[in-house]
Amino acid sequence: MLQIQDIAKQEGQTVTLNGWVESKRTGGKVAFVTLRDGSGFVECIFSLESVGEETLENAKRLTQESSVQITGKVVLNEKQEFGTEIHATGLKIYQIAAEYPISRKEHGVDFLMNNRHLWLRSRRQWAVLRIRNRVKFAIHQFFQENGFVQTDAPLLTGNACEGTTTLFETEYYEKDVAYLSQSGQLYAEAIAMALGKVYTFGPTFRAERSSTPRHLSEFWMIEPEMAFYDLEMDMELIEAFVKYIVNAVYADCKTELAILERDTILFENINKPFPRITYSDAVKIIQGKMTWNGRNAIDTLRTQLAKVEADLQAKNAEIAETENLLEKGGISKGQVNYFQNKIDRLKVEARKLEDKSKEIPEWIEASLSFPDGEDFGSPQEKALTSLFDTPVMVYKWPRAIKAFYMKRYKDDPEFVKGVDLLAPEGFGEIVGGSERETDLQILVDAINHHNLPMEAFEWYLDLRRFGSVPHAGFGLGFERVVMWLTGVSHIRETIPFPRYYGRLFP
Residues that bind ligand ATP (CB under 6 A): 206, 208, 215-216, 219, 221, 428-432, 475, 477, 479-480
What are the b/e assignments for 136-167, b being 16+ CB within 10 Å? bebbeebbeeeebeebebeeebebbbbeeeeb
Q: In angstroms, what is the minimal distance from the CB of 479 to ligand ATP?
A: 5
Q: In angstroms, what is the minimal distance from the CB of 237 to ligand ATP?
A: 15
Closest to ligand ATP by CB, 70 or 283: 283
Q: In angstroms, what is the minimal distance from the CB of 12 to ligand ATP?
A: 48
Closest to ligand ATP by CB, 31 or 245: 245
Closest to ligand ATP by CB, 127 or 422: 422
- 421 has which bridge partners? 393, 431
Of 395, 419, 382, 404, the residue nearest 449 (C-alpha): 404
Q: In angstroms, what is the minimal distance from the CB of 265 to ligand ATP?
A: 22
Contact predicate 353/307, CB 8 Å: no
Of 162, 161, 181, the residue nearest 170 (C-alpha): 181
Q: In angstroms, what is the minimal distance from the CB of 375 to ligand ATP?
A: 7
Q: In angstroms, what is the minimal distance from the CB of 486 to ligand ATP?
A: 14
Of 277, 467, 463, the residue nearest 385 (C-alpha): 277
Q: In angstroms, what is the minimal distance from the CB of 193 to ligand ATP?
A: 22
What SS3 class is residue 28? coil
Closest to ligand ATP by CB, 425 or 462: 425
Closest to ligand ATP by CB, 216 or 298: 216
Closest to ligand ATP by CB, 17 or 431: 431
Q: In angstroms, what is the minimal distance from the CB of 302 to ligand ATP?
A: 25
H or E, element range at 112? helix 109-114
In degrees and rounded to multiples of 5, residue 88 shows phi and psi of -70, 145
Of 469, 461, 427, the residue nearest 444 (C-alpha): 461
Contact predicate 393/420, CB 8 Å: yes
Q: In angstroms, what is the minimal distance from the CB of 89 to ligand ATP?
A: 49
Q: In angstroms, what is the minimal distance from the CB of 222 to ligand ATP?
A: 9
Closest to ligand ATP by CB, 40 or 477: 477
C-alpha distances in Å from residue 372, one per residue of 237, 388, 398, 492? 28, 21, 9, 32
What letter would DSSP give residue 208? -
Q: In angstroms, what is the minimal distance from the CB of 240 to ligand ATP?
A: 17
Q: In angstroms, what is the minimal distance from the CB of 481 to ligand ATP?
A: 8
Closest to ligand ATP by CB, 90 or 398: 398
What SS3 class is residue 341? helix
Contact predicate 177/171, CB 8 Å: yes
Amino acid residing at 240: A
Closest to ligand ATP by CB, 430 or 485: 430
Closest to ligand ATP by CB, 34 or 185: 185
Say how many Å lie between the first and final Cα of the chain, rounded: 31
The whole-angstrom separation of Cα 84 and Cα 240 is 37
User: How many residues are listed for the chain in this entry?
Assistant: 506
Neighbouring residues of 124: CB distance < 8 A, sequence distance ≥ 6: 259, 260, 488, 493
Give one word for 261, left, alpha or beta, with left for phi > 0 and alpha for psi -120 to 50.
left
Per-residue three-class SS string for 230-268: CHHHHHHHHHHHHHHHHHHHHHHCHHHHHHCCCCCHHHH
Closest to ligand ATP by CB, 306 or 401: 401
Q: In angstroms, what is the minimal distance from the CB of 376 to ligand ATP?
A: 8
Could you give the residue ranges of the DSSP H alpha helices within 115-160? 116-119, 123-145
Closest to ligand ATP by CB, 42 or 422: 422
Query: For strand 218-227 and strand 408-409, is the pairing parallel, antiparallel, or unpaired?
Result: unpaired
State how far Cα 380 lies from the chain centre. Answer: 20
Closest to ligand ATP by CB, 66 or 182: 182
